[in-house]
Structure 1
Amino acid sequence: MYDTEVAVVGGGAAGLSLAHRLCAPPPGARSPRVTVVDAPPGPLRPPERTWCYWEAPGGEYDGVLAASWDRLRVHGADGAQVTGRPGPLRYKMMRSGAFEQLVGARLAAAPAADRLTAVVEDVHALPDGAEVRGVTPEGGTLRLRARWVFDSRPLPALPPARTTLLQHFHGWFIRTERPEFDPTTADLMDFRTPQPDHGLSFGYVLPLGPYEALAEYTEFSAAPLDEAAYHRALRHYLAEVRALGPYRITASEQGVIPMTDARFPRAAGPRVFRIGAAGGATRPSTGYTFAAVQRQTRAIASAFHQGRTPAPPPPHSARSRLMDAVLLRALDSGRIDGADFFTGLFRGVPMERLLRFLDGGTRLREDLSIGLHTPVRPMLRTVAELPRLRRRPPVRHTPARSAPPPTGRRPPDDDPAA
């Protein structure tokens, strides 16, 4: 006897996307009873965050986008600019709160959807299903039996890998006194930041209007920084590199995204599957996750509605994962200069093709042509080296403190680092 046909553990992008797609079947298909189990407010529920992705106009979430851009710009370490239009694609930015409100409303209107709040402690496999076990906010016991369970909770530890870097970032939503930003153009990567000894760093500016933008400092490296170091880096970038006038900080966000060539098992039992980042949806070479989550959940729901086993497909192709493994190893070993590598790609490859490549949507012939715009010898040396490297559990790092770059100005009064 089952309490629900499908249990979805976690109410983030992956869990809500899957639940909504399962409850919106095509004509003639059956909608299963779906129960989403979400963590209560607190440390297990992440704060509001920003998701970015690219697709053609007219996407299913366009109505709740914070902004979108049809012009992208990259600044090389030498200051030279590369600006292009990736049409028909647009670069899109969405806040997680808007997404959760939209999809939550769709689920509330679906007769086959239920939502529960609990801290899930275990998913126990049964002979023909699984049981989700947890604790409710009132201290009660949750026992939810389901025929299928899809678990999007973060893994307790990353799987063994040949290379693991971290994409770690800190961003400020800022408002300036003068019109400092071009709302039609997003600065995707600005490598005029001080580069770390291993990995790379860049600034990232997404204009929300002439006076408002999300500005982030990002590193690909082995360990995150402490908060004060992020604040110094952001102040330096905005004052010295961007030469902005006075501004005030209206909100902030911070995150760490593993970039790893680990193999993420998608099955945790005969009828228990991992989805989202826990199921390998994060693209190892870029950290982007949202678009892969949409592909993954769309494929799961399609299989279910067609009466097939709804096992998640690989979020990224074997060829994409190999190319990512090569890039991560080349960056980590210092064989390539990360800023020069990415700048060279944007200079030499049409922007629309490059974005499709970064999303795993290019053909083999296109991949080979893009490879000619990379440092060929170091990359081939890394390809030959990979089979000899052992996969090891990633090392846990404590936050590192970077040397403070010169700022040239006093931080604004409401700067949290002031």
Structure 2
Amino acid sequence: MIAPDVDLVLVGGGGAASLVLAALGRQRLSGVRLAIVDPVRKRGQDRTWAFWGTPGTALDPLLSASWDEVDVVTPERRRVLALQPLRYAMLRSAPLYELAAGVEERLGAVRITAPAGRVVDDGDRVVVTGPDGNALVRAGWALDSRPRQPARPGRTNWLQHFRGWWLEADAPVFDPGRAVLMDFRTPQPARGVSFGYVLPVSDRFALVEYTEFSPAVLDGDAYDAALRAYADLIGLDLGALRVREVEDGVIPMTDGVFDARPTPRVVRLGTAGGATRPSTGFTFSAMARQAEDVARALADGRPPVPKPPYPARHRWMDAVQLRALDRGLTDGVAFFDRLFDRNPAERVLRFLDGTTSWAEDLSLMASSPLLPMTRAAAGDAVARISAGRRPRGSGRAGPAGG
């Protein structure tokens, strides 16, 4: 079988690729040959993305819910954050996958339902092989969104890991006008930060989730136990509710460096392309920006290379924050509480999206605990200098993840 030859191949067909397809569908493209390589055609509800941004985007028709204000709760108080001009929004996977499938069909894309192996750039074309080494497709450019380890290991490596229950009731239980962004009244791990949150789609249907920022995932049924405890804390009678769906996830929080452009014609997207925010694990907004950059570039006849997801100074600030939390220099709950207490909510959220200015970043840094963060910054500087003295190529991460 002769491998098809296309202009662009999407290696991986999940959220990042679906956002690219959705963005391509909004452009007036002509003559672009496209292929998607993935062993599974994504359908249905397999994940939920929650993110903040300005209303009126192209994704608005796909949203399940959105909120103009959210709660941040600590043992001491409940803070109601007005987000205008931003809003917090929920996008479930099914409508995005359905939209992407329609664009794929409209553009006449080649669908290769097989696992990808190597992605080889010979300087003229990119060859995507299968596990057996045979060519699946040749392309002018490859956008690879498969998860993988950082090209340079991090000095601090945590995880955002969670389990969520979609709960359904027969009578009104939830307030659809209010979401709980972070509820820190959960028992805090010895090393890390935990919180619950509630995202109501209606007064009878909501996602209730337990999340940790910490170095390791939990064992066994610990997530379910934490969710039961949180449901009890917020007054939910689980005996009167049905668990309709369960969502689990593990997202890296690391100051390791992901290689977003391993070769001239191969571009990585999503977490593999640096879209995950090291300090929180949030990914969706940067992933959506990458997709828009790619689509606009193709429409303009330029190489499909997105801008860096975050400014270099934000990556440094995240590295310092991770170090402060990991070394116990600052309390995680107190850190986030102070951040929201001393800054407008929309500034904090735009910082986490990587869109704040230098002046706003300085204000955010000034609101953080000075001595612990100074110690963390000094330790980070020493670690960077020590890493720079190692022989080139030492300590590289292993092969890509699944």
Q: Same fold judged by TM-score > 0.5?
A: yes
Distance change (3 Å), C-alpha of 1:310 and 1:72: same
Tell me which residue corresponds to 2:295: 301
Residue 87 (1) aligns with residue 84 (2): yes
Counterpart of 1:18 in 2: which secondary structure? helix
Tell me which residue corresponds to 1:373: 367
Tell me which residue corresponds to 2:68: 70
Tell me which residue corresponds to 1:174: 167
Residue 122 (1) aligns with residue 124 (2): no
1:333-382 per-residue CA deviation (whole Å, 9 max, x = no partner) reads: 11111011111222221112221111111111111112222111111111
2:156, 2:319 within 8 Å by CA — same for their partners in 1? yes
CA distance, structure 1, for counterparts of residue 216 and residue 100 of structure 2 = 35
Counterpart of 1:243 in 2: which secondary structure? coil
Tell me which residue corresponds to 1:223: 216
Tell me which residue corresponds to 1:400: none
CA distance, structure 2, for counterparts of residue 133 and residue 97 of structure 1 = 29
Distance change (3 Å), C-alpha of 1:282 and 1:31: farther
Distance change (3 Å), C-alpha of 1:247 and 1:85: same
CA distance, structure 2, for counterparts of residue 205 and residue 394 of structure 1 = 36
CA distance, structure 1, for counterparts of residue 356 and residue 318 of structure 2 = 14
Distance change (3 Å), C-alpha of 1:288 and 1:164: same
Cα deviation for residue 308 of structure 1 reads 3.3
Distance change (3 Å), C-alpha of 1:269 and 1:46: farther
Q: Judge which range, 298-307 or 366-375, deviates more.
A: 298-307
Cα deviation for residue 140 of structure 1 reads 11
Distance change (3 Å), C-alpha of 1:162 and 1:99: same
Aligned-pair identity (%)? 45
Distance change (3 Å), C-alpha of 1:306 and 1:365: same
Cα deviation for residue 124 of structure 1 reads 1.8
1:116-159 per-residue CA deviation (whole Å, 9 max, x = no partner) reads: 21111111222301111116xxx995531111111111115674
Tell me which residue corresponds to 1:401: none
1:172, 1:252 within 8 Å by CA — same for their partners in 2? yes
Tell me which residue corresponds to 1:343: 337
Residue 242 (1) aligns with residue 234 (2): yes
2:112, 2:136 within 8 Å by CA — same for their partners in 1? no
Q: Note the 1:308-323 alignment, pairs <5 A.
A: 308-323=302-317
TM-score scaled to structure 1, two decimals?
0.86
TM-score scaled to structure 2, two decimals?
0.89
2:320, 2:373 within 8 Å by CA — same for their partners in 1? yes
Residue 186 (1) aligns with residue 184 (2): no
Letter aligned with residue 115 of structure 1 = R
1:39-71 per-residue CA deviation (whole Å, 9 max, x = no partner) reads: 2269xx997011111112221111121111111
1:281, 1:292 within 8 Å by CA — same for their partners in 2? yes
Counterpart of 2:377 in 1: which secondary structure? helix
Distance change (3 Å), C-alpha of 1:106 and 1:30: closer
CA distance, structure 2, for counterparts of residue 77 and residue 343 of structure 1 = 11
Residue segments in structure 2 that go unaligned for 5+ positions in a row: 388-394
1:23, 1:34 within 8 Å by CA — same for their partners in 2? no
Tell me which residue corresponds to 1:199: 192
Counterpart of 2:221 in 1: which secondary structure? helix
CA distance, structure 2, for counterparts of residue 192 and residue 219 of structure 1 = 13
Tell me which residue corresponds to 1:60: 58
Counterpart of 1:119 in 2: which secondary structure? coil
Cα deviation for residue 106 of structure 1 reads 2.3
2:44, 2:97 within 8 Å by CA — same for their partners in 1? no
CA RMSD of aligned residues (A): 2.4
CA distance, structure 2, for counterparts of residue 343 and residue 97 of structure 1 = 34
CA distance, structure 1, for counterparts of residue 224 and residue 152 of structure 2 = 31
